[in-house]
Amino acid sequence: MDFQSNVFTLNTVDGVSFLTYDRLSQIPFIRHAFSTKIGKGSRTRHPMDMSFDRDDREAVTENYKLLCNAAGLDYSSLVASAQDHHTFVRVCTSAEKGIGIYREKDMQSVDGLVTIEPGLTLCTYYADCTPLFFVDTVTHAIGLAHGGWRGTVGKIAEKVVGTMRESFGTDPKDLVCAIGPNISVCCYEVDESCAKEFYALGLQSDRFVFPKEGGKYMVDMLECNRQILVSCGVKPENITVSDVCTKHNSDLLWSHRATKGDRGLMCAMMRINPDH
């Protein structure tokens, strides 16, 4: 496996591999991780599958514990999203610990999570869609969001920024954000009806929608989400964009398109350190 990146570090601890953003790793009050397919001891049909809906529950639970142990996170502190490609953002507290992991989901539509409580680990899921990380360097609030194409055109990034502002007093100029890894423009082909949704955003669409022959288009979800964040007041220099395509790196990362749907799920995790 020849993994190359200028923005990620590929970490391997006790046989479990996960990605971290170099920029986010420089922020002292948080810890984060993005899972991969590589995990010594994983017993799921799809290696390191983080989806309870796709694999054996006991084995998936063990994957969470393997990842948490490797990344220095507390399994008991996890709270998970309930993703359905919409834009609802949940404000999480310690009362939500375990939901979606070792407690039943109590909501059916949660594609974004935010918190200001130390020690609570947010968890969201991906297999080509776009992870979005948010860190408020002043209030020390954090957020994670799942940006599929529907969530992206629904401006879930804007919804997270707005929720953090309303709930924690976040000023967008204080946010450090990271986007990806996801399926990149090189591999993300859509039809005309989908492309029209991106054109309708009123952004610089010529930088993220590229027409092809036969009524097809290539879409750059990274650039689209970057522009949405900038339009919300996030400083361009505070946004780190992935340089890793999930489809091109399908030996390391789960990709829905690379596997034609026969795949597991990866997860993003992030917390405010409990001793903060």
Q: Which amino acid is at 266?
A: M
* Cis status, amide bond into 28, omega within 30 of 0: no
The Cα 209–Cα 204 span in angstroms is 9
Q: Are 121 and 73 in contact (CB under 8 A)?
A: yes
- For all residues of the chain together, what is the average pLDDT? 96
The per-residue pLDDT for 74 is: 97
The dihedral region occupied by 234, where left means phi > 0, alpha psi between -120 and 50, and beta the remainder, is beta
Q: What sign does the CA torsion over 188, 215, 226, 271 have?
A: negative
Q: Which two tokens stand for residue 187?
A: 């591999």
> Per-residue pLDDT for the chain (276 aa), expressed as one digit of tens each?
689 999 999 999 999 999 999 999 999 999 999 999 999 999 999 999 999 988 999 999 999 999 999 999 999 999 999 888 889 999 999 999 999 999 988 888 999 999 999 999 999 999 999 999 999 999 999 999 999 999 999 999 999 999 999 999 999 999 999 999 999 999 999 999 999 999 999 999 999 999 998 999 999 999 999 999 999 999 999 999 999 999 999 999 999 999 999 999 999 999 999 986
For residue 206, which of 214, 195, 194 has the smallest C-alpha distance?
195
Tokens 């049909």 identify what position? 45
pLDDT number for residue 106: 87
pLDDT (0 to 100) of residue 208: 97
Tokens, residue 82: 């309930």
Q: What is the pLDDT of residue 53?
A: 87
Which residues are CB-contacts of 217 (< 8 A; sequence separation ≥ 6)?
Answer: 189, 190, 191, 192, 194, 195, 209, 210, 211
Q: Where are the domains of the chain?
A: 8-170+177-183+241-272
Residue 84: the pLDDT is 86
Superfamily the domain 8-170+177-183+241-272 falls into: CNF1/YfiH-like putative cysteine hydrolases (3.60.140.10)
Tell me the torsion sign for CA atoms 140, 146, 151, 153.
Answer: positive
